[in-house]
Amino acid sequence: MVLKIILTVLFFAVMVGVGLYCRRHATNVNGFVLGGRSVGPWLTAFAYGTSYFSAVIFIGYAGQFGWKYGIASTWIGIGNALIGSLLAWVVLGRRTRIMTQYMGAATMPDFFGKRFGSTGLKIGASAITFLFLIPYTASLYNGLSRLFEMAFGIDYVWCIVIMSVLTGIYVIAGGYMATAINDFIQGIIMLGGIIAVIAAVLNMNGGFMSSLTKMAGITDASASGMPGAFASFFGPDPLNLLGVVILTSLGTWGLPQMVQKFYAIKSEESIKKGTVISTLFAIVVAGGCYFLGGFGRLAEIETVTDASGAVLPAGGFDAVIPGMLSSLPDLLIAVVMILVLSASMSTLSSLVIASSSTLTIDFLKGNIVKKMDEKKQVLFIRIFVVVFIAVSALIAVYQYKSANDDAVKYIAQLMGVSWGALAGAFLAPFLYGLYSKRTTKAACWVSFIFGSGIMIANMIFRPYFPAILQSPINCGAFAMLAGLIIVPVVSLFTPKGNREEIDKMFACYDKKVEVSQKTSLND
């Protein structure tokens, strides 16, 4: 217990210390929200990766999908690395950085407003961001409850309070730069922690081959009689596995807190290095989490059998990973605690900066508060950081204390549809807005309404959806893919924007720059 407490206190002290150190970078909006657009490749890549992978992934998704798909759940981590990291950086990184700097855009709604010349779009995007980021933020606390109770024996509420207060301190003090530096430190912990935990868990089951053999011998009604399903290449349910891969991988392309990382990157060289670093980070962390979760059925936890004959963990899917870790040595449990705290706090800080900056810059400024100078904007952003953290913490506590309340069930469902709604609404118009002059304001509106609307409808009228779309994961994946078709089709039949303004906007990509001969041969 002493060891766990010492490591946890040391971790929190470093986080707060970094926040206080970075105060000088957070004196204006550009510095507070984007770190002055001068963040290097290592910090940006780790900020991207740690915002991507939170306790929701490590505890919730790894436990749930590892249990459902066995070793094949590793494909989710591979998809996260190749589509959610590598392709995202290649396709979005450079263009996002160039166009948002040209526009002077600091947030995703700000981009939509300036790209399509519409204040309404900016306000609409900020409303969607506000509605769906709050419950997503609250969901970050859920993965910590069982681990804290297992490791410290303290009430979950105290875990929420401590994490909220300390995250708030370093975000309010140092803004994006403090978040980026802390993300780097937290990312190092996540890399080392996941490797150590995988090695320890496999060793408990006699090594990799022995663990794989045990998984091959597990039978379950959910595998439809397929022998060795949970140790097979594609698992017992490849179609639904594909839906998870699409949602968790392609979804990052439309999430405000992820895309905003590209706004802040320093240079071309940083983009190239960041692409490689981010991809390798995702392979280790995401691949490692889902690979670990794939052996979840070997954990010594209580199980129940449902009406169909499928075996399920008695304490829910969130009990799988803690059950695997409960018999680890104290030092490793302490490492896991810091790992999960790192994953949660890094994502939490990213979400609250995205939420508070959006509400201030895109909603209040110029609409509610007509005149807002730099100092006022930074003050409002800091105030909203406190508000967002407090509201999300209260939702998490309320959900924990009132698990059987109908309102709580809807909160939990809203958390589940948040990712799909945000990415379903924003991915297609953002991508096409960067690449095509033909994309229209009307197409952007249709994507907003369709993406968020279908996810809300799925939450309320789920039994009436086709069987494959009743899962919010599959529905979110469908919303994203449908948006990629809807936006260009609607753009064909709706009025284009001001041609001269759009040409001027896209001219930023053609600006001549001098490069070294190793980059381009001088003919």
In a domain, 197, yes or no: yes
Report the number of distinct structural domains present in the chain. 1
In a domain, 239, yes or no: yes
Highest mean pLDDT among 71-75, 181-185, 262-266, 498-502: 71-75
Instruction: Name the burial class of residue 453, with classes exposed (0-12), middle (13-18) and buried (19+) by CB atoms within 10 angstroms of its CB.
Output: middle
Task: Give residue 144's pLDDT.
Answer: 63
Residue 316, token pair as written in the block: 């829910």
Of residues 276 and 405, more confidence is placed in 276
Residue the block writes with tokens 């690395």: 81
Residue 295, token pair as written in the block: 């052996």
What mean pLDDT, rounded, does the chain reach?
A: 83
Residue the block writes with tokens 């706004």: 263
Would you place residue 408 in the very low, low, confident or very high pLDDT band (cuts 50, 70, 90)?
A: very low
Give the H/E segment covering residue 244: helix 238-250
Residue 401, number of CB atoms within 10 A of its CB: 11
In a domain, 78, yes or no: yes
Q: How many CA atoms lie within 13 A of 176 on its CB side?
A: 35
Residue 166 reports pLDDT greater than 80 = yes
> Please, are residues 343 and 54 in contact by the beta-carbon 8 Å criterion?
yes
Full domain range(s) for residue 96: 2-510
Kindly report the backbone phi and psi dihedral angles of residue 235, in degrees, each rounded to the nearest multiple of 5, phi listed first: 75, -175
**Residue type for position 491:** S
In a domain, 421, yes or no: yes
This prediction has a pTM of 0.86
- Read off the pLDDT of residues 141-151 as tens digits, 9 standing for 90 and up: 765 665 666 66
Highest mean pLDDT among 60-69, 71-80, 315-324: 71-80
- Read off the pLDDT of residues 66-104 as tens digits, 9 standing for 90 and up: 888 889 999 999 999 999 999 999 999 889 989 988 888
Residue 117, token pair as written in the block: 């010349």
Mean pLDDT (whole number) for 284-309: 84
Mean pLDDT (whole number) for 422-436: 94
Residue the block writes with tokens 């109908």: 406
Residues pairing with 265 in the sheet: 39
Task: Give residue 520's pLDDT.
Answer: 56
Mean pLDDT (whole number) for 95-118: 90
> Please, are residues 53 and 84 in contact by the beta-carbon 8 Å criterion?
no
Strands (E) located in 350-453: none
| Distance (Å) of CA 516 to CA 25, 116, 269, 270, 513 | 31, 35, 12, 15, 10
CATH code for the domain in which residue 167 is found: 1.20.1730.10
SS3 47: helix
Residue the block writes with tokens 């959610």: 84
**DSSP code string of 263-276:** HTB--HHHHHHHHH
Highest mean pLDDT among 326-330, 348-352, 408-412: 348-352
In a domain, 523, yes or no: no
Cα 297 from Cα 359, distance rounded (Å): 43
Indicate the DSSP class of residue 60: I
- Read off the pLDDT of residues 200-238 as tens digits, 9 standing for 90 and up: 888 888 888 888 888 888 877 666 667 788 888 888 888
| Distance (Å) of CA 343 to CA 57, 59, 144, 146, 190 | 9, 10, 10, 15, 7
> Please, are residues 169 and 19 in contact by the beta-carbon 8 Å criterion?
yes
